[in-house]
Structure 1
């Protein structure tokens, strides 16, 4: 337990963190990678370049300071981050390193304003928060390894099939190279894929949602190729997977992780809304709902630019054909003339509230959505405007977590299909 004095000191730094939080976390990562370059094997370099990781850490530090007297308030965020840490291979021995660099970064940025009293309070608070993470992640490692077919760290998987799903998305069907069992996973979870790209100094790790339903003799990931655009580099890992990895090649995977999962105990209607490659965890959820013969009404909405980049359409339609309670809707914001001639979509343009209310029978439902951040921000705003209860709104960020209620940081169009996985 923290003393009242420590709590008061930490809370007094909240306004400072609100202003200088990202500057502190940028300095933190500079210090961390200079002193421990080996940790670059674990981090997504693209998220570092874009500043997403720094912003996510700043938000986490700010939340910890704000709720330092009621740390139970941040436990959901702790579990979400802990899933990512376990998937990446973060271990207890990393936390003292992080604590040391964080305190140094605070001192470097705030200068004399970071008194010994403030640094001492933060050291004490960090120790308690770090222990929460360490204990939570230790239990997750134990569960991942001890479940039937489970394993620790990374396991070799062979590419059984490689299937082109659209102009930009390809699926990889993966089976354990050792021939052993596959552990179950919850629909919506992801795996970390670790690759050694020839010519690269460091290994690269990316997290990809499992796009198939549980219970299959394989895991499937469906990866969007992130091509190079002006002011945006191409995705190293996604292009490597698309261009270099083929049938019979080996990839290294962590055990499934993630908190964005279908609540199978809920019996109410479920609404699955995706944009671009964000459909991958939702297809897993749809597969589970149809293959378990659930009688829950399901509305599946997918937004894409047009049919050429609309992945897994045939599979989703086949799943829906087995269950009369499933309704499908396609929303294209840049349909081709062929799309129009084939009547390949239900709405042209972006999802809006009148249309959403027309195709979704009730707001008393569980809503799950995933996609590019501008798309998710749009969907979140529509659901809040409709009056959907906060506890019924579930979403997943590709990459570092953020807030959909914060001011947008991009001018991208809502249905752009870029993921942030790289």
Structure 2
């Protein structure tokens, strides 16, 4: 918790830091990459730097952490820290790198605030930074210790690629070396690292969509982003027999086989954790009450449709409702035109899981809250930097 000396300083300066942090973080990244360009090779995403989402996520997490310490002096925001730690470990972040971030972040703060950054303010915010860093380091060390191996990445060979939906492909990999594989849980993701055209390695996280608990196979389903850097290489260049680097599985959006009524609401490629969870639930013979809600542009665009419907057919207490923006509605399926509506899909004790584009999740979460679902019963997954959690 914050020291008695720092707490009033943070409380007094939080408004200005919160206001300026979104201007500070771009300067921080510019400084750090100028001094340590190797961090862009296999650690940080150039695309997320270009579109600003990484800067937004960092700025928001710092402001939220400081605000939480002021309002809850005896605790820390465990949900936010856990989410960040899982992303960090999938990328191979280590304790020593927090010192690098501190050096360049506080140089950027000093540049931005100038003479307004007194020694007292700098000391107080240094305390905030290291409280957050040490909390993350502790969680990350625990996550690393749970893995079946001591490596960040291991080599996996592409053995199958299958088109599914519109512009989506499922890629299945098998081990290309003797590194022990960690068993995943439904809803978790792996980081994939590959060299781009200029030889610089880039990393993206993808949810495991099939074979989740296998140690001899990893399957991810990826939608093509024609304007992106990574997925065009994956879709257009990766051939059966090629080898990529995959991390151990991470992620705290894990769905249990038993418990309160489960509602899974997804849109587009956001159905990947849903598909994995349903397959795992079916294999376990789950009798949990499950409602799957899926929205897509049209029926033919729905990725992993066959896998999801097959799993649902094996779950005695599961049902599905779908919404499509255009095209003919399929027969034999509870399908409607337009956008998702949670009406009649929720009960007071429902556990709700969301995955899809941010506007979709904002809308569906608002519906769930309006229906009386407690915020702590609404879980979600964001692909890429989590700009929503910090908000």
Provide the TM-score with structure 2 as the length reference.
0.94
Kept in 2, the 8 Å contact 1:380–1:404? The answer is no
Deviation by residue 1:253-299 (Cα, 9 ceiling, x = unmatched) = 000001111134x5221111111110001111111211111111111
2:65 paired residue number: 64
Q: How many angstroms apart in 2 are the aligned matches of 1:16 and 1:291?
A: 53
Pair 151,304 (structure 1): closer, same or farther in 2 beyond 3 Å: farther
Q: Which of 367, 370, 375 is 2:355 aligned to?
A: 370
Deviation by residue 1:34-65 (Cα, 9 ceiling, x = unmatched) = 11111112111111111111111111111222
Kept in 1, the 8 Å contact 2:263–2:352? The answer is yes
2:33 paired residue number: 33
Q: Which of 403, 409, 420 is 2:388 aligned to?
A: 403
Kept in 1, the 8 Å contact 2:329–2:337? The answer is no
2:6 paired residue number: 6
1:83-94 matches, within 5 Å, as 83-94=86-97
Q: How many angstroms apart in 2 are the aligned matches of 1:364 and 1:111?
A: 51
Name which of structure 1's ranges 135-144 and 279-288 shifts more when overlaid on structure 2: 135-144
**Would you say 1:269 and 2:272 are equivalent positions?**
no
Q: How many angstroms apart in 2 are the aligned matches of 1:17 and 1:100?
A: 17
Name which of structure 1's ranges 41-50 and 365-374 shifts more when overlaid on structure 2: 41-50
Q: How many angstroms apart in 2 are the aligned matches of 1:215 and 1:109?
A: 48
1:386 paired residue number: 371
Name which of structure 1's ranges 210-219 and 97-106 shifts more when overlaid on structure 2: 210-219
Deviation by residue 1:45-91 (Cα, 9 ceiling, x = unmatched) = 11111111111111111122213352623222111101111100111
Q: How many angstroms apart in 1 are the aligned matches of 2:122 and 2:390?
A: 31
Pair 142,341 (structure 1): closer, same or farther in 2 beyond 3 Å: closer
Q: How far is 1:357 from its partner?
A: 2.1
1:120-139 matches, within 5 Å, as 120-139=123-142
Q: How many angstroms apart in 2 are the aligned matches of 1:263 and 1:294?
A: 9
Q: How many angstroms apart in 2 are the aligned matches of 1:88 and 1:244?
A: 23
2:55 paired residue number: 54
Deviation by residue 1:306-365 (Cα, 9 ceiling, x = unmatched) = 123211111111111122311122210122xxx34757761100013xxx223x262421
Kept in 2, the 8 Å contact 1:210–1:221? The answer is yes
**Would you say 1:245 and 2:206 are equivalent positions?**
no
Q: How many angstroms apart in 2 are the aligned matches of 1:341 and 1:388?
A: 31
Q: How far is 1:250 from its partner?
A: 0.5
1:318 paired residue number: 310
How many equivalent pairs are there? 387
Kept in 2, the 8 Å contact 1:151–1:255? The answer is no
Give 3-state SS (helix, strand or coil) of 1:357's partner: coil
Give 3-state SS (helix, strand or coil) of 1:387's partner: coil
Name which of structure 1's ranges 321-330 and 66-75 shifts more when overlaid on structure 2: 66-75
RMSD: 1.9
Kept in 2, the 8 Å contact 1:64–1:71? The answer is no
1:13-24 matches, within 5 Å, as 13-24=13-24
1:162-241 matches, within 5 Å, as 162-178=161-177, 181-200=180-199, 202-216=200-214, 217-227=216-226, 234-241=227-234
Q: Which of 312, 315, 336 is 1:347 aligned to?
A: 336
Give 3-state SS (helix, strand or coil) of 2:273's partner: helix
Provide the TM-score with structure 1 as the length reference.
0.87
Pair 3,269 (structure 1): closer, same or farther in 2 beyond 3 Å: closer
Kept in 2, the 8 Å contact 1:187–1:213? The answer is no
Q: How many angstroms apart in 2 are the aligned matches of 1:72 and 1:49?
A: 35
Q: How many angstroms apart in 2 are the aligned matches of 1:153 and 1:196?
A: 16
Kept in 2, the 8 Å contact 1:376–1:404? The answer is no
Deviation by residue 1:221-271 (Cα, 9 ceiling, x = unmatched) = 0001001xxxxxx1111111110011111110000001111134x522111
Pair 71,277 (structure 1): closer, same or farther in 2 beyond 3 Å: farther
Q: How many angstroms apart in 2 are the aligned matches of 1:362 and 1:289?
A: 20
* Runs of 4+, deviation exceeding 3 Å: 179-182, 340-345
Q: How many angstroms apart in 2 are the aligned matches of 1:57 and 1:369?
A: 22
**Would you say 1:259 and 2:252 are equivalent positions?**
yes
Kept in 1, the 8 Å contact 2:32–2:101? The answer is yes
Q: How many angstroms apart in 1 are the aligned matches of 2:197 and 2:373?
A: 48
Pair 158,12 (structure 1): closer, same or farther in 2 beyond 3 Å: same
Pair 4,291 (structure 1): closer, same or farther in 2 beyond 3 Å: same
Q: How many angstroms apart in 2 are the aligned matches of 1:19 and 1:89?
A: 31
